[in-house]
Amino acid sequence: MSVATNRISLDPTQYVKVNQGQGRFKIQSLQGDCYVVMTDSKPAVSNRVAHILRSDTTFDFDAHDTNVWVLPRETGTQVVITEWIGGNSGNQFAYQAYYSAYAEQVPVSTETPILTLHNPSANTQFAELARMMLSADKKSTYRLWVTTDPTAIIGATFQPVNSQSGLECDSDDMDASAVRATSYDHSKMQLVTVVITQQAKMINLNNPNPERIQFTIPAGTYLCLESTSNSGIASGVLEWGELI
């Protein structure tokens, strides 16, 4: 049995799927009230046939046989999800597929987007970030951001990573029809981490403690990798697993 605890910022314009499996499950509101719906398919935003999760309260489920969707009643609402995958409910572990997206030789100046990964709102699969690989031709600063607001991504056209994955990216190295973002609106994003790379040296970043910390990528989420250097050339890779 594995346990996943995740803090999720919600989108007031849509229901967001918050569970990976269908075992024991706990959801707590850190700020604001939420509608909680249990159904296979994504509910319409107008749906109000739902449980109400109040601020600073908790819902506990011994087991469930469908997806769990959450809609905040106000902007800025966050919930914490704790989920036991497998184990007590008798469910089997889901098979996990491994995927990656990359962007090569991107000209960089101030705060230049390198690679944007998107888990579409309609996707019923959960994904979890596994590793980043970063390199540049001179000393550079990389930043990884996360957001659920599509207006924070300027100029991007997304294409599927491949026919098996449920995720999309804006890298034309992955698909010639994709268009890389021209800029990010940081005021609508949350900063995940900052990494400084030395000249012509590749850095691999793995989750330092996957037993305690899991970085899930819920439906509707964007992961945004950018680099800053003085007229440099940067590359980046994001690798993740999907529960299928």
Q: What is the pLDDT of residue 95?
A: 45
Q: How many Å apart are CA 63 and CA 84, to the nearest integer?
A: 9
Of 61, 89, 117, the residue at which a domain comes to its end is: 89
The CATH number assigned to the domain holding 54 equals 2.60.120.10
- 230 and 145 in a single domain? The answer is yes
Q: Which residues pair with 182 in a beta bridge?
A: none
Condensed to tens digits (0 to 9), the pLDDT of residues 17-45 reads: 887 766 677 888 877 888 998 888 899 99
- 142 and 64 in a single domain? The answer is no
Domain residues for the domain of 147 are 96-243
SS3 of 67, please? Answer: coil
- Residue 210 neighbours by CB under 8 Å, 6+ apart: none
Q: What is the pLDDT of residue 203?
A: 83
- 161 and 211 in a single domain? The answer is yes
Contact call for residues 46 and 67 (beta carbons, < 8 A): no
Average pLDDT over residues 81-105: 66
| Total count of domains within the chain | 2
- 111 and 213 in a single domain? The answer is yes
- 129 and 208 in a single domain? The answer is yes
Condensed to tens digits (0 to 9), the pLDDT of residues 135-184 reads: 888 888 999 999 999 999 999 999 999 888 889 999 999 999 999 999 99
What are residue 79's phi and psi, to 5 degrees? Answer: -130, 155
- 40 and 155 in a single domain? The answer is no
Condensed to tens digits (0 to 9), the pLDDT of residues 126-136 reads: 788 888 999 88
Look at residue 244 and tell me whether its pLDDT is greater than 60: no
- 19 and 120 in a single domain? The answer is no
Choose the weakest-confidence range: 61-65, 153-157, 179-183, 218-222: 61-65
Choose the weakest-confidence range: 48-52, 92-96, 107-111: 92-96
Of 73, 89, 105, the residue at which a domain comes to its end is: 89
Of 89, 123, 157, the residue at which a domain comes to its end is: 89
